[in-house]
Structure 1
Amino acid sequence: MEKFKIDKQTLEELNLLGKFKTGTIYNLFNNVCTRGGEQLLDEMFNNPLTDMHAINDRSSIFNYFQQQNFGFDFDKQLVATMREYLDTTSYRSKTLVYGTTVLHKFLSSLARDDRYKKNVQGLQAVIQLLNTVQKMLDVFVSAVPQFQVRVDEIKAIMLNPLLIKLQRTDIYRALPLSTLAFYEHLLKGKFLADMESLLRFVYEVDVYHAVAQIARVKGFQYATALPATENRLACKNLKHPSISKAVGNDLLLQESNNVLFLTGANMAGKSTWMKSLGIALYLAHMGFPLAADSFEFSVRDGLYSSINVADNIGLGYSHFYAEVMRVKEAAVAAASGARLMLIFDELFKGTNVKDAYDGTLAVTSEFAEYEACLFVVSTHIIEVGEALQSVGNIQFRYMPTVLENSIPRYTYRLQEGITEDRQGMMIIRNERILELMNGSVVNTCN
């Protein structure tokens, strides 16, 4: 499976990753209980899928957990104790394992040697986890086929007579030395792969349960992946997943009109909605739930955005030159034949209006020729849209501004066409900036 192409800037612009960053999409879903579950969540976030069947399979598992509303009480410390137990080395010889166990017990009574105690606690954790897994298996009735395969694998492990016997062991009674030594040798040797599979199953259930819970609470839905060759993206009521009471919008991009040209005033909501689209596409490739009533998409090779391009002092790049280099990177990626989603917000805002007009017009016209890709381009320069009317595969939408007593109000709803809003000077007048500069208004700011 080819790796999904996305660069650091796009990840940062969409605020996708980061456990210790505020408001990341990762943290929106990070409600797992176990350390292994968190590592698995990291793995999923860092490796979006590029196979249609794999994406739809994972989505169906999350949806299964969401519809069933399972209740699981994960004992974080229990899982951690078993993990530590399996990670400690053991001898291959049964005799040496038994001798070491006897020695550790003897030392525990003479000095502060806790190895025997940890060994007992580790085996007790294994017994408890076996019982926890058995309860899970009893709950998973009529699971979706994609998850049933995994359930059957774990059931086969649990049917081993030695594990059944261990599962029935009373952890509240002192464990004989022979039992401790026998199972240490077995679990860390012959059965180690099975124990790792059991732990992995617990981590998987932890992630499925946590993500499904978030989806249920927030009313998220699941995307449907389509073949890459269809070159289609269709969404209904798509919103930003992290914004409370966000306004949703519909969109259809396909080969015959694969370019969205978006206009609207500052604060009208263009950038936020473009970020919503990029986030949704990324989550869709992960098989995760997203903030939309429906979302269909042809699998992409990658996602590329240019929303918050900054200057680069280290390389000596001005803001404008950094924008140019960003567009160049996108052009090279598109020209390679990769099926991409490319999002450009306010192209060339770091230069004068004439150059920005010429550059936006030329770049949008050229990108429109790559019909295997999907594009979203926004600008303040509405005249560019008028010049692009003759390009057949470009569709035009705008975010309107409604004036109420000369005060702008934003609906955040996409409308067909090109905006005619020019409220910049009106906002300046409303804030009485000119009067302040002329001294005709008393400045009350300290």
Structure 2
Amino acid sequence: MTINNTQDLFLLKDILPLFDYTLNPDSKSILERLLQHPLSSVAEIKGRQTILQQIIDSKLLCDEYDYRKIEYIDTHRFLSSFPLEDLNQQDYLQYILKKRKRNTLLGEYQQLIYFLAKIEQQLRENLDIKAFPKHYQEEVRLILNYLQSFRPKHYKSKLAKDKFGYKSIQELNAIVYEKRKNGDTVAFFEKLSLFEAYISISKGICKHDFHFAEIGNNQFQLSGFYHPLLQAPIKNDIDIKNNVVLLTGANMSGKSTLLKAIGLCVYLGHLGLAIPAYSGSIPFYDSISIQINHSDDLKNGYSHFMNEIIKLKDVVLQADSGKRCFAIFDELFKGTNHEDAFAISVKTIIGLQKFKTSTLFISTHIAELKNELDQSPITADAYYIDCQIRDELPVFSYVLKTGWSNLQIGRLLFKKEGLNDLLDLPQR
């Protein structure tokens, strides 16, 4: 998977909080990494969907899996970095004489056993390992086997009966020592952190009522999609028949937000996550590029218009090489004059028709394109966001409809703000 440009989705700033119910910094770090790396095949996507769906189905796990961050931090520190020399076997006399060391280990093991027992019980009681994909079953078993190797239920009982002493500490010292030396402890925390990241994602999916899309079909269809940051979103449907999709609508009608919502559905789908929609069918793409927020590239010295040209060229080159590309271009060629924008928009739309395995969204403010394209053999889908004029003011519905919009509200807004009168006033 090639990610050319997804910063306009604001993944870490806006999207991460939707899924972040992590309990420790390691799981959060993995969650951040997951959000920035789409999967490279349909099989991987379906595998992750199955993992998340299994966690969601075990609602008790989703709802009750919990602990305090300090419990994890203390356990991780002890198992990963407690001095190995302090875990060496010692005779009973040394154990009795070294009271401070004995009390330190007793406290460490008390925290460790209660923490491991809690996690082991939650996982054992709520997981059906066989429901996971085969490759992931082994990872879950690794987590459970590591937990069970400490016999937390057995030692928790000893602690409760005040029978946890010299023998118990020596037994656990040997386990901690061996697990760290052979790499089991590192592997355990890696697998546990990933699993907890999946639990966190599953909680987010349930909380926001997202749904899994079918990935890998040739059809592009979204039902009831929306942008999840909106407080009261209007949910729309789209069913694409052609590889080029043109979007028009008045200023402030919500074109950019709608394109972000579509881009987010595609991107989350390629992560194997559920999407903000009732349902969806999305082709698998090799490349995702989303160009929505207009800006100059100060680092490379490119103007906004030149930046558009470069990103469009990158998508065209990838599509021409046989890659299946998904791309969004919001207000394409807005950065140049109207005559140039019209001419190169026609050329671009006609030229993009040949990349049949790609899906390319273009929003435009050039109303004249409709007449030009109607006279050409172009088979592009056209959508617009509805807007009505009432009492000389625009009323936005944010509803997506098929067809074109030729509504222009710039002069109405100009008048509404009183600029006509202000500019007609004589100079003071």
Provide Cα deviations, 1:171-224, integer angstroms capped at 9, x if missing partner.
784854554354234223246544445444543443333322222222211122
Aligned to 1:32: 22
For residues 80 and 96 of structure 1, the distance between their equivalents in structure 2, rounded to whole angstroms, comes to: 20
Answer whether contact 1:239 1:247 (CA < 8 A) is retained: yes
For residues 266 and 414 of structure 2, the distance between their equivalents in structure 1, rounded to whole angstroms, comes to: 37
Aligned to 1:395: 381
Q: How does 1:80-99 map to 2 (within 5 A)?
A: 80-88=73-81, 91=84, 97-98=88-89
The aligned amino acid for 1:80 is: I
Answer whether contact 1:29 1:214 (CA < 8 A) is retained: yes
The aligned amino acid for 1:400 is: D
The Cα of 1:234 is off from its aligned counterpart by: 1.3
The Cα of 1:165 is off from its aligned counterpart by: 4.6
The Cα of 1:25 is off from its aligned counterpart by: 0.5
The Cα of 1:49 is off from its aligned counterpart by: 1.1
Answer whether contact 2:212 2:269 (CA < 8 A) is retained: yes
The aligned amino acid for 1:438 is: D
For residues 228 and 93 of structure 2, the distance between their equivalents in structure 1, rounded to whole angstroms, comes to: 57
Identity %: 23
Aligned to 1:368: 353
Answer whether contact 2:213 2:282 (CA < 8 A) is retained: yes
Q: Which moved more, 1:366-375 or 1:154-163?
A: 154-163
Structure 2 residue 36 is matched with structure 1 residue 51: no
Structure 1 residue matching 2:399: 3-state secondary structure: coil
Structure 2 residue 184 is matched with structure 1 residue 187: no
Q: 1:62 to 1:161 in 2, by over 3 A?
A: closer
For residues 205 and 132 of structure 1, the distance between their equivalents in structure 2, rounded to whole angstroms, comes to: 16
Answer whether contact 2:251 2:409 (CA < 8 A) is retained: no
The Cα of 1:142 is off from its aligned counterpart by: 7.9
Q: 1:408 to 1:282 in 2, by over 3 A?
A: same
Structure having the larger proportion of residues in helix: 2
For residues 360 and 427 of structure 1, the distance between their equivalents in structure 2, rounded to whole angstroms, comes to: 27
The aligned amino acid for 2:246 is: F
Q: How does 1:228-243 map to 2 (within 5 A)?
A: 230-243=217-230
Provide Cα deviations, 1:245-270, integer angstroms capped at 9, x if missing partner.
1112212235xx11111111111111
Which runs of 5 or more structure 2 residues have no equivalent in the other structure?
none
The aligned amino acid for 2:324 is: R
The Cα of 1:86 is off from its aligned counterpart by: 2.1
The aligned amino acid for 1:83 is: H
Q: Which moved more, 1:38-47 or 1:171-180?
A: 171-180
Answer whether contact 1:304 1:330 (CA < 8 A) is retained: yes
For residues 333 and 63 of structure 1, the distance between their equivalents in structure 2, rounded to whole angstroms, comes to: 34
The aligned amino acid for 1:88 is: S
The aligned amino acid for 2:259 is: M
The aligned amino acid for 2:71 is: L
Q: 1:157 to 1:321 in 2, by over 3 A?
A: closer
Q: 1:217 to 1:387 in 2, by over 3 A?
A: same
For residues 100 and 366 of structure 1, the distance between their equivalents in structure 2, rounded to whole angstroms, comes to: 82
Q: Which moved more, 1:232-241 or 1:153-162?
A: 153-162
The aligned amino acid for 2:3 is: I
Answer whether contact 1:34 1:74 (CA < 8 A) is retained: no
For residues 203 and 416 of structure 1, the distance between their equivalents in structure 2, rounded to whole angstroms, comes to: 45
Match 1:72 to one of 62, 65, 76? 65
> What is the root-mean-square deviation in Å for CA atoms of aligned residues?
3.2
Answer whether contact 2:327 2:361 (CA < 8 A) is retained: yes
How many positions carry a matched residue from both structures?
A: 420
Aligned to 2:300: 315
Match 1:170 to one of 159, 167, 171? 159
Q: TM-score, structure 2 length as denominator?
A: 0.87
Match 2:116 to one of 130, 141, 155? 130
The Cα of 1:273 is off from its aligned counterpart by: 0.6
For residues 417 and 278 of structure 2, the distance between their equivalents in structure 1, rounded to whole angstroms, comes to: 39
Aligned to 1:408: 394
The Cα of 1:328 is off from its aligned counterpart by: 2.0
Provide Cα deviations, 1:297-341, integer angstroms capped at 9, x if missing partner.
122112102212312344332232222222222222222321110
Structure 2 residue 3 is matched with structure 1 residue 6: yes
Which runs of 5 or more structure 1 residues have no equivalent in the other structure?
110-114
The Cα of 1:358 is off from its aligned counterpart by: 0.9
The Cα of 1:103 is off from its aligned counterpart by: 8.6
Answer whether contact 1:253 1:374 (CA < 8 A) is retained: no
Structure 1 residue matching 2:6: 3-state secondary structure: helix
Answer whether contact 1:90 1:184 (CA < 8 A) is retained: no
Match 2:236 to one of 238, 249, 257? 249
Q: TM-score, structure 1 length as denominator?
A: 0.83
The Cα of 1:57 is off from its aligned counterpart by: 2.3
The Cα of 1:405 is off from its aligned counterpart by: 1.1
For residues 215 and 278 of structure 1, the distance between their equivalents in structure 2, rounded to whole angstroms, comes to: 18
